[in-house]
A and B are shown apart, each in its own frame.
Chain A
């Protein structure tokens, strides 16, 4: 089954304790991205990756790191989480950048609800 998976689905942690949220897709998609969803703010893009070893900042990258060592995986790393990073996080992937210029339809993972105390 074609899908984007995220783990863990729920995580409660404390300020300053490093954590990683994994994301994996089995569709051989080139483009992957991370979003956070907060009430009233919609989905905001944190980082995206065009392909292996190619990543770039979205609109809210502060406090996050990513890596893309393999095409299928795109982990989100919070080196020192803070309470303002409490949010619902989504990973997404897209087959390609259409015509080399645009990001095509994205398919989302089930979400990770993170609480930082």
Chain B
């Protein structure tokens, strides 16, 4: 069955520190999509990245990078030189076809970046 685990409930870092948010998933399928979303204190949900299971290349976008490893079923998110504006709840999500078109989110990690 689909499952997404974000074991880190809350992380606090000091500004300019690097921080990694963990995401571990379970799936029966060999083909699937993984996503990260950001929910800032204002409450909206903002799409960050989508990764296809066939593409294991790591991706970098400015201070953000994502490490996808099928061998460990992980899709971790690193913020380099964190800033106060990075403070938010971050969700990892999984989309697979298992007879249904469900879209499963993890429980989220709250990141607090302190000035």
Q: Which residues of B contact A102 (CB under 8 A)?
A: 31-33, 95-97, 101
Contact partner of B101 (CB less than 8 A), chosen from A31, A59, A107, is A31
Q: Out of B31, B102, B107, B108, which one reaches A101, CB within 8 Å? A: B31
Contact A111 B104 (CB under 8 A): no
A41 and B47 contacting across the interface, CB-CB below 8 Å? no
Contacts of A111 in B (CB 8 A): 43-44
CB pair B45–A90 under 8 Å, yes or no, is yes
Q: Pick from A50, A56, A105, A110 the residue with the most CB of B within 10 Å.
A: A105
Contact residues of A between 18 and 47, Cβ < 8 Å to B: 31, 33, 35, 40-45
A12 at the interface (CB under 8 A from B): no
Contact of B105 among A43, A56, A98 (CB under 8 A): A43
* A contacts with B: majority SS: strand
Residues in chain B near residue A110, CB distance under 8 A: 43-44
Interface flag for B64 (CB, 8 Å) = no
Is the CB–CB distance between B108 and A42 below 8 Å? Answer: yes
**In the complex, what distance in Å separates the CA atom of A31 from the CA atom of B103?**
11
Please name 13 pairs of A and B residues whose Cβ atoms are closer than 8 Å in the assembled complex, sorted by A: A33-B103, A35-B105, A41-B107, A43-B108, A48-B101, A48-B103, A56-B101, A58-B102, A59-B102, A90-B45, A97-B101, A102-B97, A104-B50
Chain B positions within 8 Å of A, measured between CB atoms, are 6, 9, 31-33, 35, 37, 43-45, 47, 50, 91, 93, 95-97, 100-108
Known: A88-B43, A105-B35, A106-B103. 13 other contacts (CB 8 A): A56-B100, A58-B102, A101-B31, A101-B97, A102-B31, A102-B96, A102-B97, A103-B101, A106-B35, A107-B47, A108-B37, A108-B45, A111-B44
